Amino acid sequence: MNLPIYMDGHATTRVDPRVIAAMVPFFGEYYGNAASRHHQFGWAARDAVVESRLAVARLIGATSREVVFTSGATESNNLALKGVMDASRARGNHIVTACTEHRAILDPCARLEQQGVTVSYLPVRGDGLLDVGTLAAALTPATVLVSVMSANNEIGVLQPIGDLARVAHSGGALFHTDAAQAVGQVKIDVSEDGIDLLSMTAHKLYGPKGIGALYVRRGLTLTPLVDGGGHESGLRSGTLNVPAIVGLGHAARLCMAEMSEEAERLTQLRNRLWHGLQQALPGVSVNGSMTSRLPHNLNVTFDGVDGEQLLIGLDDVAVSSGAACSSSRRSPSHVLTALGLREAAAQASIRFGLGRFNTDEDINYVVEKLRDLVARLRAPVPVFEIEDDAPELPPGWAAAPDRPNRGA
């Protein structure tokens, strides 16, 4: 076991050394532009992009023509939502989504609302799941798109995507899912599940940052966000980031080969962590469904503990109190409050994101660390009173000009 321990895999993952090895030649030896059609430098880059596109498509059950490379899931989400709504103005102006979505969905929806689009934000149950009946009741003749994330980035809950997509289609709407946390972790098949658009990113599946993809079902029309050259079938112009695309492709191949076995291993590690915390500490509770959950996720509330002190105390364990994009905010997680948690409980919650490089020894260390830390944080704080014979401070001392400046 090496310290510090990384358990923040929902924020990002370490790039697998095998992925790095696949990328390196495309920074040097094969440095051509994939759009250069008249020499072997361009051909080598083009072929690598073609192979990576096929690998990504196979991972999600798509065809390679349906994969559009982007800078990541945030851009993919923006292209999906804004592109569909702009191209479908004649059909309607209504989007349906869930209140527990990532900011990469909620913020584009807010922008579209400023442009006259109506957005319905549906509540979830106490276990974090969206009820199919709730979605059905929210659809109107003006509904163009339903967007529900496959796996929540904070509580790891897996939504019934296939059922939700069928309801959306029955109402005449398209179905999009932000699958950034799910792709490469659990099996996804866009054809079986009836998904029309799917967003993903490489850095959540042991690939590089700054590269992702949007699956667009063949035949759909989207308005591009970026114009200038007509790359990616006209949906995302700009010179392709070949080394990163190669990294995404190889990360996808590794997930295809190892996902089933790795999911089983991570489930065992996650359950070991949860059972260890239950045995070591009273007053711990899990947030979200444990039966419909990512194998590597655990979100736990520690009663009677200040969340910020808890994170500070875990000085050699990388964890999070919520989404990385919101980790600097003092407000409680909108996901946890949507589940019914009070502000204090939401702020006393920790998200564990286990990964490919975590071990049993890591779990043992974290359980012991938290047992001691939580016990100290829950202990009564001693109150020290000023002694009766202590000299009184003179009136106006705080404003005295010769008062020492302790902050200097």
Q: Catalytic site residues?
A: 325
What is the distance between the alpha carbons of residues 68 and 57, in angstroms, rounded to a whole number?
Answer: 10
Render the burial of 375-392: b for 16+ CB within 10 Å, e for the rest.
Answer: eebeeeeeeeeeeeeeee
The residues that bridge with 22 in the sheet, in sequence order, are: none
Please choose, from the candidates 220, 183, 246, 294, the residue with its C-alpha nearest in 3D space to the C-alpha of residue 54: 246
What is the distance between the alpha carbons of residues 151 and 183, in angstroms, rounded to a whole number?
Answer: 9
Render the burial of 247-269: b for 16+ CB within 10 Å, e for the rest.
Answer: bbbbbbbbbeeebeebbebbeeb
Helix axes 73-87, 103-114, angle to 10 degrees: 30
SS3 call for 95: strand
SS3 call for 309: helix
User: Would you state the structure tokens that stand for residue 318, as one six-digit string?
Assistant: 């990388």
The residues that bridge with 121 in the sheet, in sequence order, are: 97
Instruction: Give the per-residue SS3 of 33-89.
Output: CCCCCCCHHHHHHHHHHHHHHHHHHHHHCCCHHHEEEECCHHHHHHHHHHHHHHHCC
The residues that bridge with 199 in the sheet, in sequence order, are: 178, 214
Helix axes 40-60, 242-280, angle to 10 degrees: 30
